[in-house]
């Protein structure tokens, strides 16, 4: 090791096998443009739960564990080697790290995707926190300053930590404009969201507050009345069982946020509804092959776009958007009444167990007390 090389130690709460956390002391190298941050608030994602419960393929678990979980996190800057950050700054972490930022290189020196100026979240050499790469459940995370975004003073922690979740929806929306397509047109002014869960909710809210799609032209389709009712403050809602998808027009873009075993129904209903040459964006995850109506895709010249994860651009947009009190009000439905205080691995296990049993919308927030853990 070079005697001038900078390193920092970190206490990581690593998942070593499904259901079992251990405290590990790990060492990080620090490069130019890196920032050492201390994560103080995390949020449990379904991806974290799939690792914790062992609901992943055995080979994936063998390849990726042991590993610190969490990719939804806020942190405070401890040491900065990046000009945009200083000690004490409150930041949100962007978990998708392209290889050129990870290795402090130029983008064109990275992979085929990066050489073609592709999106950072599709870098072939990239890493993602909490997915085969230690996540935010550690006392000192070393990350490129390009993967951090300042949090405005008027944005609370409880709102700011929803940025990663919201960014996935916003990236999918941004894809439409980036591909020289149009979200809406004069003849097709409406946008539809299929899915009455949190993903659909966050996608619809981003369409309103980031892209200013008015309520009358923002239509949400779902199957469960109680869930669909959650959208009524800012979107026009319909139940899929009571709607004539072939008999309505005016939809230029549709976002499928259903996933799972209902993906096929949602996608085919969207194909019936969408106007000719419209954009169908697939966001719902399914472990099984999905049967779709390819004949009408061809006849209507429908553009199908897949979307996953996000980039720093979406986080920057959201930090601005989150300053809107009305946006904060809509997002508050996902905020839990209390945080889990994490003082040891047992506390983290308890939080995971509780969230694994919870089918509600509210997130599970984790307040890390590193002084106690270390």
Whether 65 and 143 share a structural domain = yes
Residue 48 resides in a domain: yes
What confidence score (pLDDT) does residue 277 get? 92
Residue 78 resides in a domain: yes
Residue 328 resides in a domain: no
Cα–Cα dist 125/93, whole Å: 19
Count of structural domains within the chain: 2
Cβ atoms 84, 95 nearer than 8 A:
no
- The residue among 285, 306, 327 that closes a domain is 306
Cβ atoms 165, 72 nearer than 8 A:
yes
- Burial (CB < 10 A; 0-12, 13-18, 19+), residue 346, is exposed
Query: What's the pTM?
Result: 0.92
Residue 122 resides in a domain: no
1 band by pLDDT with thresholds 50, 70 and 90:
very low
- What is the pairing mode between strands 303-306 and 279-282? parallel
Q: Report the percent of the chain where pLDDT is more than 90.
A: 83
Angle made by CA atoms 137, 142, 144, in degrees to the nearest 5: 125
What confidence score (pLDDT) does residue 186 get? 78
Whether 277 and 363 share a structural domain = no
Print the domain residue range for 262.
Answer: 167-306
Whether 230 and 360 share a structural domain = no
What confidence score (pLDDT) does residue 57 get? 83
Backbone dihedral angles phi then psi of residue 290, each to the nearest 5 degrees: -115, 130
Please tell me the number of Cα atoms within 13 Å of 74 on its side-chain side: 23
Whether 33 and 88 share a structural domain = yes
What confidence score (pLDDT) does residue 179 get? 67
* Arithmetic mean of pLDDT, 241-263: 90
Whether 33 and 148 share a structural domain = yes
* Arithmetic mean of pLDDT, 123-140: 96
* Listed range (71-75, 241-245, 271-275) with the worst mean pLDDT: 241-245
* Arithmetic mean of pLDDT, 62-71: 94
Closest CA to 13 of 175, 174, 137: 137
CATH code of 54's domain: 3.90.180.10
Residue 135: partners with Cβ closer than 8 Å, 6 or more residues away: 67, 68, 69, 70, 71, 73, 95, 129
Whether 285 and 177 share a structural domain = yes
Angle made by CA atoms 318, 90, 147, in degrees to the nearest 5: 60
Whether 136 and 55 share a structural domain = yes
Residue 46: partners with Cβ closer than 8 Å, 6 or more residues away: none
* Arithmetic mean of pLDDT, 330-354: 96
Residue 5 confidence (pLDDT) above 80: no
Whether 24 and 61 share a structural domain = yes
Please give the sequence-ordered ranges of beta strands (E in DSSP) within the chain, or none if there are none.
Answer: 6-17, 20-30, 34-43, 67-68, 72-80, 90-93, 96-97, 127-128, 141-144, 148-150, 190-194, 218-222, 236-239, 251-256, 279-282, 303-306, 340-342, 365-368
* Arithmetic mean of pLDDT, 298-312: 93
* Listed range (73-82, 179-188, 309-318) with the worst mean pLDDT: 179-188
The partner residues of 349 in beta bridges, in order of sequence, read: none
Cα–Cα dist 161/312, whole Å: 14
Please tell me the number of Cα atoms within 13 Å of 246 on its side-chain side: 2
Q: What is the dihedral of CA 246, 248, 251, 257, to 10 degrees?
A: -60
The per-residue pLDDT for range 139-149, each reduced to its tens digit, is 999 999 999 99
Cα–Cα dist 144/31, whole Å: 8
What confidence score (pLDDT) does residue 260 get? 82
How many C-beta atoms lie closer than 10 Å to residue 167's C-beta? 30
Alpha helices in the chain (DSSP H): 46-53, 58-64, 99-102, 112-115, 157-160, 163-178, 198-209, 225-228, 263-273, 294-299, 312-321, 325-331, 345-357, 370-373
Q: How far apart are the first and last CA of the chain?
A: 26
> What DSSP character marks residue 138?
B
- Burial (CB < 10 A; 0-12, 13-18, 19+), residue 361, is middle
The partner residues of 218 in beta bridges, in order of sequence, read: 191
Whether 295 and 359 share a structural domain = no
Residue 2 confidence (pLDDT) above 90: no
């Amino acid at each position: 090791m070079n005697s001038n090389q900078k390193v920092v130690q970190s206490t990581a709460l690593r998942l070593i096998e499904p259901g079992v956390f251990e405290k590990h002391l790990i060492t990080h190298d620090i490069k130019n443009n890196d920032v050492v941050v201390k994560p103080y608030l995390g949020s449990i994602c379904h991806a974290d739960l799939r690792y914790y419960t062992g609901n992943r393929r055995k080979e994936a678990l063998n390849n990726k564990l042991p590993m610190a979980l969490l990719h939804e996190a806020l942190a405070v800057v401890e040491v900065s080697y990046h000009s945009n950050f200083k000690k004490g700054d409150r930041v949100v972490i962007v978990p998708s790290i392209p290889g050129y930022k990870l290795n402090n290189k130029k983008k064109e020196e990275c992979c085929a995707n990066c050489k073609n100026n592709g999106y950072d979240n599709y870098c072939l050499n990239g890493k993602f926190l909490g997915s085969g790469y230690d996540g935010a459940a550690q006392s000192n995370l070393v990350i490129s300053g390009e993967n951090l975004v300042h949090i405005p003073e008027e944005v609370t922690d409880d709102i700011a930590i929803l940025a990663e979740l919201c960014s996935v929806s916003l990236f999918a929306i941004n894809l439409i404009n980036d591909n020289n397509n149009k979200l809406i047109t004069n003849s097709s002014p409406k946008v539809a969201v299929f899915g009455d869960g949190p993903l659909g909710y966050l996608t619809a809210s981003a369409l309103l507050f980031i892209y200013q799609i008015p309520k009358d032209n923002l239509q949400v389709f779902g199957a469960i009345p109680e869930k669909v009712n959650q959208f009524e403050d800012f979107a026009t809602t319909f139940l899929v069982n009571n709607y004539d998808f072939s008999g309505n027009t005016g939809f230029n873009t549709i976002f499928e946020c259903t996933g799972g075993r209902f993906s096929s129904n949602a996608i085919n209903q969207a194909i019936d509804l969408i106007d000719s040459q419209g954009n169908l964006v697939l966001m719902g995850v399914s472990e099984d092959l999905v049967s779709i109506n390819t004949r009408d895709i061809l006849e209507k010249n429908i553009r199908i776009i897949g979307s996953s994860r996000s980039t720093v651009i979406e986080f920057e947009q959201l930090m601005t958007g989150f300053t809107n009190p009305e946006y904060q009000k809509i997002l508050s439905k996902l905020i839990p009444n209390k945080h889990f205080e994490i003082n040891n691995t047992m506390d983290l296990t308890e939080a995971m167990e509780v969230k694994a049993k919870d089918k509600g919308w509210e997130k599970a927030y984790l307040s890390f007390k590193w002084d106690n853990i270390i």
